[in-house]
Amino acid sequence: MSHITLRKPSFILISSLLLIAAFSAISLISYYVANSSLNQHIKTNTLPLTSDTIYSEVQRDLLQPVLVSSLMAHDTFVHDWIEDGELHSGQMQRYLTSIQTRYNAFTAFFVSEKTAVYYHSSGIIKQVSESDPADKWYFTSRKTPTEFDINLDQDTADSSTTTLFVNHKVNDAQGRFLGIIGVGLASQRIKELIEVYQNRYGRQVYFIDRQGNVTLQGSQFSGTDTIQKVAGLRDIAPLILSTPSGSYSYSNGDRKYLIKTRFVPELDWYLIVEHAQHSESQITATLWANLAISLVVILIVLLLQHFTLGGYQRRLEFMANTDPLTGTASRHAFESTYVQILSFADRHQNPVSTILVDIDHFKVFNDTHGHLLGDKVLTLVATILTDSLRKSDTICRWGGDEFFIVLPNCNQENARLVAEKMRLQIEESLLMVDDLRLGVTASFGIAEYIGQESPTELFNRTDKALYRAKSKSRNQVEGSSSNTPKTA
């Protein structure tokens, strides 16, 4: 059996030192690199990318009402219903309800220019009037040069809810103004979306209008209602409000901030993504945290290594020392044991006998019935041989269909009795295998160790005895004829 030159304790010690050195080096290098370049990287790469990603998600999540309102404004049902004189208000109510349900909108509405009636998914709300401040949005939207506008206002149907409305003009084929139609999202839903962005990207996200007033923000927003009130930020507010997009930095107390701005024309607002720079103390705390985590990981790895290495070592030793088919010792592992037994016998003058077993006509089984049956015959014979031995005896699969057995403290006569018992058991037990009449038998050659005889010489004498047994019609036991001590 080959020896492992690197023992498990040494391997684990070396692994421990390598892991400690690697984790420490990685943590320290990360600390110095982060301390010198993290904020610069965020400013030039991460923050712009985050802003672009959030902008795309804003368009996907917040601008869906724009598309829905446009579809409503060009819907032939809406045009036909208005041109028919708005006779059946229930039809418009059902239409608005279906839009609200289909697109998961908070509200859906239509205000007629002809009748000034405010139609809602819940029914007719009122008639709008220029003298009513709550209806100012309608008369303002009517005058806008664009097809639609967006405003944040209280819902007429529910004054307790602030809603983001998309107000889209409805024009007939001749371009005559027929009214305003649209949908709305509850501001609470929009705030939840903003908080999703903040949690996902680790940045503060909010919107401001053209005057710098904060229009939408999450519940965790820590700023004021206008950027002109924030120290440091007020100095760059004019630049932000006059530029479609840009990257800026400012200081407020002992904290530094990086911001990325982008104008959203559909909302007529600026998207602000703000990042608070990490202080050196925070990065140092992160270093110590990394080192602590590394230590825990090292301990876990070493424990796993200790248990798994021991298990693999036992499995490798078993695989190296055992024949996988029969479960007997492999020839490679057996040879060193064989030499040790003979050496022990020389020192203590104990008898040792050997048995070489060969399955009769084994090639015929393989050729006639296939290798699977042949393997089963080998396994059954190995089981019978092993069960007939003492704990001190050793058996190995010598090769093919041959088994070699060493019996310490056993002379040739006793070895003959053991071999005869094995022969009879094989003959009687393996007459039938898998309902096939095979009549399995085996031939045995035995020899007794002569002092100072080499292992090869003892094996050759045992092999010659086996040859005589096979030449005498097989299925019998033959002993070695030369068991006299060697002369000088």
Given this model, what pLDDT does residue 154 score? Answer: 63
Does the residue 387 lie in any domain? yes
Does the residue 122 lie in any domain? yes
Does the residue 242 lie in any domain? no
Confidence (pTM): 0.44
Final residue in a domain of this structure, among 166, 188, 210: 188
Instruction: Determine the structural domain holding residue 428 and report its residue range.
Output: 331-479
Given this model, what pLDDT does residue 215 score? Answer: 82
Q: Structure tokens of 357? A: 């077993």
Give the domain CATH number at 68: 3.30.450.20
Domain count across the chain: 2
Does the residue 12 lie in any domain? no
Please report which residue ranges of 322-361 form alpha helices under DSSP H.
331-348
Give the domain CATH number at 460: 3.30.70.270
CA distance 162 to 141: 18
Does the residue 147 lie in any domain? yes
Does the residue 27 lie in any domain? no
Q: Which residue do the tokens 């509200």 mark?
A: 107
User: Do 396 and 358 form a contact (C-beta atoms < 8 A)?
Assistant: no
CA distance 355 to 344: 19
Given this model, what pLDDT does residue 4 score? Answer: 37
CA distance 146 to 141: 9
Q: Which long-range contacts (CB under 8 A, 24 or more apart) does 95-98 make?
A: 96/120, 96/121, 97/121
Does the residue 243 lie in any domain? no
Given this model, what pLDDT does residue 279 score? Answer: 52
Final residue in a domain of this structure, among 188, 204, 233: 188
Final residue in a domain of this structure, among 188, 222, 255: 188
Q: Which of 386, 376, 380, 399 is nearest to 323 (CA)?
A: 399
Alpha-carbon torsion (52, 57, 58, 59), positive or negative: positive
Given this model, what pLDDT does residue 333 score? Answer: 80
Q: pLDDT (tens digit, 0 to 9) for every residue of the chain, 488 residues total? A: 333 344 556 666 777 777 777 777 776 776 666 666 666 666 676 677 777 877 777 767 667 888 899 999 999 999 999 999 998 899 999 999 999 999 888 889 999 999 999 999 899 999 999 999 888 989 999 998 889 888 777 656 565 566 778 899 999 989 999 999 999 876 666 677 778 877 877 788 888 988 999 887 877 777 788 998 988 899 999 999 999 888 888 888 878 888 889 898 767 789 888 887 755 555 667 767 777 787 787 778 777 766 776 656 666 665 667 888 888 888 888 888 899 999 998 888 899 999 999 999 998 888 888 889 889 999 999 999 999 999 999 999 998 899 999 999 999 999 999 999 999 999 999 988 888 888 999 999 999 999 888 999 999 999 999 999 999 989 999 998 766 544 33
Please report which residue ranges of 169-279 form alpha helices under DSSP H.
187-201, 233-241
Q: Which long-range contacts (CB under 8 A, 24 or more apart) does 430-438 make?
A: 430/377, 430/380, 430/381, 430/384, 433/373, 433/376, 433/377, 433/380, 434/373, 434/376, 436/369, 436/373, 438/365, 438/369, 438/377
Does the residue 179 lie in any domain? yes
